[in-house]
Structures are given as structure tokens and as C-alpha cells.
Amino acid sequence: MMPRVYVGIPTRNRPEFVRNAMRSVLDQTYTNLRVLVTDNDSDSEIADDVRKFIANLADPRIAYVYNPVADGERGQTLYNFSRCEEPYFLLLHDDDRLQPTLVERAVETLEADPRLAFFSTAQNLIDEQDAVLLEESVRYNQWLGRHRLPSGPVTNVLEVILQGGAFSMSGTVFRQTTMARLGFVDPGGGGFPIDMITYLRIGEDGQLGYFASERLVDYRWHAGQSRVKHENWTFNEWMIEKYVVQLETRRYHGRAEQLRRRLLSLGLCRLGIVRHVANDTGAARALFRRAVAISPSTWQGWAYCGIGHLLPFAIAPKWGRRVTLRHDAA
């Protein structure tokens, strides 16, 4: 018998979406699954609705647990992994779906090559009515650099994640033993953005992954989805601060270090914009200068630095609406 796969589905106040997510798991061609829906403090009526839906499925593979602490993506990822005793771990966000062959493909690939830490694929973008957004899907996968990756083992995970972040958290199948050793977050609890931190840790350890160019995961694009809700997350004060800290604490060699410095330079520039909109001009200019010093070949750093010093009056009109200050964050 092929090994069992743990599938964790964290959910919060999205009953229709999570039902679709569950159906996509139970429709897998690979059937040796244990599925746990972890309810992250949904309203009581919605929690009851989801609980009844699962009971009516009468499928012994799927269970429900209510978690009264709204601890977000990081907390739910760690909570689900703490419940995993199976050889493979899959986290599916409640607004996403799996194509029917995803788990089968993943297990076959991971079983064939014990060096692989994970199996990840390209994605479709879907709307709230489950329609695939074809043109948007192409652009989205290109934006993440997936068009540069052929199907097969990925030996340079660290460079890939620093170059475009090709691998997602939702829908990826991880090898449990590898992640139990490495963890999903840094010591001390650093874990935003958790998908970036997870793959940085895998790459820093020299682990291999596998990328399939087929779109075997459907990533839902909707008003309540975190990337849409925080469309300009790189100008969100809390988020960009955490992002910068993660990059500042790391050091690499060669191409990976060049990419880290470039990303850090861009992060400092965006944090400088945030500081400027918050009327802390001195801190903003210092951040722009740091961005240039860290990665002199990154032209955006010079551009932001020039604007910050020579055209500061242009910052608020151009970026002000995209900035979310900490005290304004929802």
C-alpha cells in the first residue's frame, strides 16, 4: 500500500469555499488520505455549518476540529503540521482546490526519489464562481518565475525562491521527516511570510524539491483572499518590516547572496516609502541610502533614493494610497 498523506485544511468564515476545497481532496485519484479541517475561530453558525457538512459526508478519512484562537496562516500551518504523523504533509488553504491527480503525482514522485523535500506545481487562478482565469493564470505563473522552471528536480531551491518565489505553500506536498527536522519558521518564531521562510530554510539546508509545470492546484482570486486584501502588501508597514527583517538576518554566497541583497534593497526602498508617508522623512532617506549601499547594481534603489532626496513631494501622490500604516491596518 502506498503511504498515507495528511491533508490539513485551515478555514475561517468561508463555508462555501471550504466545501469546494474538501470536495477536491476527496475526489483525488489517490485515496490513502487523512484529512483534518481546522476551523480558525469561525462564527458559531458557520462553524456548525461546516461541521454538519463533514458529518454528512460520512467519510472516515475526514475530521473537523475547532480552534478558538485566530492565529492566522502561520499558526494554522504549524498547528496542522503538529498533527501530522503521516509520511507526507499537504496544506490546502480553504479557498483553493486540488486537481484530481495532484496527490497521486506527488506521492509517486517523492517515493521514487528520497532526496526530494517537496513536490510543487504551477497553478490556475480561479474566480469566486470556480471559473479558470486563463490569461491571468499565465501572467501569475510568469510573475512567480515558474516559466523559467522545467518539470523535474530543483537543485537550486534557494536561488529559485530568491529569484521569484516559484513555490507556493497551499497545494505543495512536503516530506514529513524533512520538515520535522527543518521546521517551517525560524528559531524564535520568525515566520512572515511563511511560504518564503519555509523554502528559504529548505534551500539553506541544501535540500532538493520537485516542480511540475502542470497546473495541478487552483488558487482562488477573490476579495477576501489575503493577497488581494493586501494587494499592496509590500507597502504595508507591518508586513514589509517583517519581510525586511527576514532578509537582513540571512547571509549567502555567490548568486544567492546577490539575489538576497537585491530583494533586501527593494524591501528597504518600499519601507522608505512607508516611512515617508508616515512623515518620517529622515528615516525614509536613510533607508533609501541603505538600499543603494546594499545592492549598488539594483537601479530601483538609485531611483527611489533620487526621488526621496530630490522629489520628496512626489511620493505621497504616487504611493500614498498604496501605503497601509500599522495603526491603519485591518
Is the domain of 210 the same as that of 256? no
Cell of residue 40, nine digits:
480558525
Q: How many helices (H) and strands (E) does the chain have?
A: 14, 9
On whether the CB atoms of residues 236 and 271 are closer than 8 A, the answer is no
What's 320's DSSP letter? G
Is the domain of 207 the same as that of 324? no
Q: Inform me whether the pLDDT recorded for 62 exceeds 60.
A: yes
pLDDT for residue 230: 39
End residue of a domain, out of 229, 259, 293: 229
| pLDDT over 90, % of the chain | 80
Q: Inform me whether the pLDDT recorded for 297 exceeds 90.
A: yes
Among the ranges given (5-14, 24-33, 308-317), the one the predictor scored with the smallest mean pLDDT: 308-317
pLDDT for residue 233: 76
Mean per-residue pLDDT, 290-298: 95
On whether the CB atoms of residues 103 and 28 are closer than 8 A, the answer is yes
pLDDT for residue 228: 42
Compute the radius of gyration of the chain from its Cα atoms. Answer: 21
Q: Inform me whether the pLDDT recorded for 6 exceeds 50.
A: yes
Distance CA 185, CA 235 (A): 23
End residue of a domain, out of 229, 250, 266: 229
Is the domain of 133 the same as that of 215? yes
pLDDT for residue 231: 47
Is the domain of 215 the same as that of 251? no
Q: Inform me whether the pLDDT recorded for 252 exceeds 80.
A: yes
pLDDT tens per residue across span 209-247: 999 999 999 999 866 555 443 346 789 998 999 999 999
Is the domain of 194 the same as that of 266? no
pLDDT tens per residue across span 29-57: 999 999 999 998 899 999 999 999 999 99
Is the domain of 208 the same as that of 118? yes
pLDDT tens per residue across span 160-204: 999 988 999 999 999 999 999 999 999 876 667 899 999 999 999
What is the residue whose three cell numbers read 503521516? Answer: 86
What's 217's DSSP letter? E
Cell of residue 251, nine digits:
547571509
Is the domain of 273 the same as that of 138? no
pLDDT for residue 187: 84
Looking at residue 41, which CATH number applies to its domain? 3.90.550.10
On whether the CB atoms of residues 66 and 48 are closer than 8 A, the answer is no
For residue 270, CA distances in Å to 113, 137, 260 come to 41, 26, 15
pLDDT for residue 229: 39
pLDDT tens per residue across span 102-125: 999 999 999 999 999 999 999 999
Is the domain of 175 the same as that of 41? yes
Is the domain of 191 the same as that of 158? yes
Cell of residue 248, nine digits:
537582513
For residue 50, CA distances in Å to 145, 169, 275, 307 come to 36, 23, 43, 51
- Per the structure, the count of domains in the chain is 2
Is the domain of 212 the same as that of 257? no
pLDDT for residue 285: 93
Residue type, 36: L
The alpha carbon dihedral of 255, 176, 28, 218 has a sign of negative
Q: How many CB atoms lie within 10 A of CB 212?
A: 19
Q: Inform me whether the pLDDT recorded for 278 exceeds 50.
A: yes
Confidence of residue 68 (pLDDT cuts 50, 70, 90): low
Q: Which residues contact 155 (CB under 8 A, 6 or more apart)?
A: 208
pLDDT tens per residue across span 73-92: 888 999 999 999 999 999 99
Q: Where are the alpha helices (DSSP H) in 39-130?
A: 44-57, 72-82, 102-112
Is the domain of 217 the same as that of 249? no
Q: Which of 246, 99, 228 is nearest to 171 (CA)?
A: 99
End residue of a domain, out of 229, 255, 289: 229
| pLDDT over 70, % of the chain | 94
pLDDT for residue 326: 79
pLDDT for residue 205: 98
What's the whole-number average pLDDT of the chain?
Answer: 92
Is the domain of 150 the same as that of 219? yes
Phi, psi of 250 (to 5 degrees): -110, 155
Pairing status of strand 88-91 against strand 152-154: unpaired
**What range does the domain containing 205 cover?**
5-229
Pairing status of strand 97-98 against strand 5-11: unpaired
